[in-house]
Amino acid sequence: MRTRATDARRAAVLGSPIAHSLSPVLHRTAYRELGLDDWSYDRFDVDEEALPGFLGELGPGWAGLSLTMPLKRAVIPLLDEVSETAASVEAVNTVVFTDDGRRVGDNTDIPGMVAALRERGIEQVDSAAILGAGATASSALAALARICTGEVVAYVRSAERAAEMRQWGERLDVEVRTEDWAHAARALRAPLVIATTPAGTTDVLSAAVPERPATLFDVLYDPWPTDLAARWSGYGGAVVSGLDLLVHQAVLQVEQMTGRAPAPLDAMRKAGEQALASR
């Protein structure tokens, strides 16, 4: 049983670099809306080397942690339990501390992606395309395992990345075909396109957006909109942003850490939008 939500508790986001994380804005907004006045949420710059020591120094007042790069995989050996969702992609972005002191890891990025798509009316697709092959791409594949009934085509830059994506597909039971990044413009005609690449990478593709695009899920949120997202929405296509993902995964984190549900999605999103606008 969790400690009562009225008790003073602490939470934080860890990563390196971490200075520009929006997580404190989102979580603090949730606490305020939920009446958890004694709860606090901070950010700490922690790398892989420092992570074991940081965890070892946490006291009983801690409720949970949000994790970003480069800690999502490094934290796994330090946990007492890892959810099936997190294990499926070998990535933990959420740690909850139970009342008996156990550290439980989960991944809210995957259900967060599904929830962000569902909010835009995307419940199921018969095929999809992924731009990129990094850690976020594996989470995208795991999300597609829940909503895509057919083939996923991943556009990648190297044979090594192509092999990794096919391996993830086999592991997640998703039919994955890989294509060279030189043909990435073909991805834009898919019913659902998930862009997982760093800022600026997809700018060159904006000229290839079809006249009637379907749905683009671009995991970036700063700067926003990306050239691709701007052209996509300009042609009337549906666009899901990285902020949508960030908010939905944070909602799930808040619910797990506080034991309160539902978390205030709309208020959290508004706070995130305001924080980005002020940058």
Whether the CA torsion 85, 78, 14, 156 is positive or negative: it is negative
| Cα dihedral 27, 63, 47, 90 in deg (nearest 10) | -90
- What is the Cα–Cα distance from 70 to 75, expressed in whole angstroms? 9
**Catalytic pick from 28, 72, 161, 248?**
72
- Going through the chain in order, the beta strands assigned E by DSSP cover 10-15, 40-45, 62-67, 81-82, 94-97, 103-106, 128-131, 152-156, 176-180, 192-195, 215-218, 238-240
Specify the 3-state DSSP secondary structure of 81. strand
Neighbours of 74 (CB within 10 A): 17
72 is annotated as an active-site residue: yes
Which positions ≥6 away from 61 have C-beta within 8 Å? Answer: 8, 9, 10
| Cα dihedral 132, 134, 140, 142 in deg (nearest 10) | 130
Which positions ≥6 away from 37 have C-beta within 8 Å? Answer: 31
Type of residue at 186: R
- Joined together, the tokens standing for residue 4 give 């009562």
Active centre residues (catalytic): 72
